[in-house]
Chain A
Amino acid sequence: DAGVIQSPRHEVTEMGQEVTLRCKPISGHDYLFWYRQTMMRGLELLIYFNNNVPIDDSGMPEDRFSAKMPNASFSTLKIQPSEPRDSAVYFCASSRGLLLREQFFGPGTRLTVL
């Protein structure tokens, strides 16, 4: 089975530009999570969805960040406009139900904002 798929793997952009990160969860998983990892703050949960519905977006840093999940097999995290402090590795993870709560992570997208 394919794991969680993220694209792009690397993104370099200039300050002020719009950035869109993409995620395809594992088929059959009904939870999807977006995390941000930095040296200073570690691994932070940004937002998560259950059955395509956002459940908790309290981790989204500010209005420049938005996330959508139009269907069970696709989600996007958008930053507009991007700033240098947004540079980080962004992970998407998915899980099936609450029974085991194990999350499967994608390979991450390394974002660099110049």
Chain B
Amino acid sequence: DTAVSQTPKYLVTQMGNDKSIKCEQNLGHDTMYWYKQDSKKFLKIMFSYNNKELIINETVPNRFSPKSPDKAHLNLHINSLELGDSAVYFCASSQVADTSPLHFGNGTRLTVT
């Protein structure tokens, strides 16, 4: 199936741990994103990569580090997890065109205890 897929779907971990979320898209898109959705459903962009190059880097703690090994993958690594990092993290991709929509993965629900 053509899609944006991210793993894991659920991630429960303790404060201070380091964790990674993986994302892959087989839509042939040039640009990939990470969004954070809080408990009130607000969506905030964190990072955007175009063809493996970082193009958007919002005000995010440097404990969050994206890595794009190729244009089909964008992983998110989080160091020293904090309680406030608990949220749903969505990966998305789009083609480089001002009319192209975003295609989202199904999200990773991160719970930090």
Physical interaction between A and B: no
B-contacting residues of A (Cβ < 8 Å)?
Answer: none
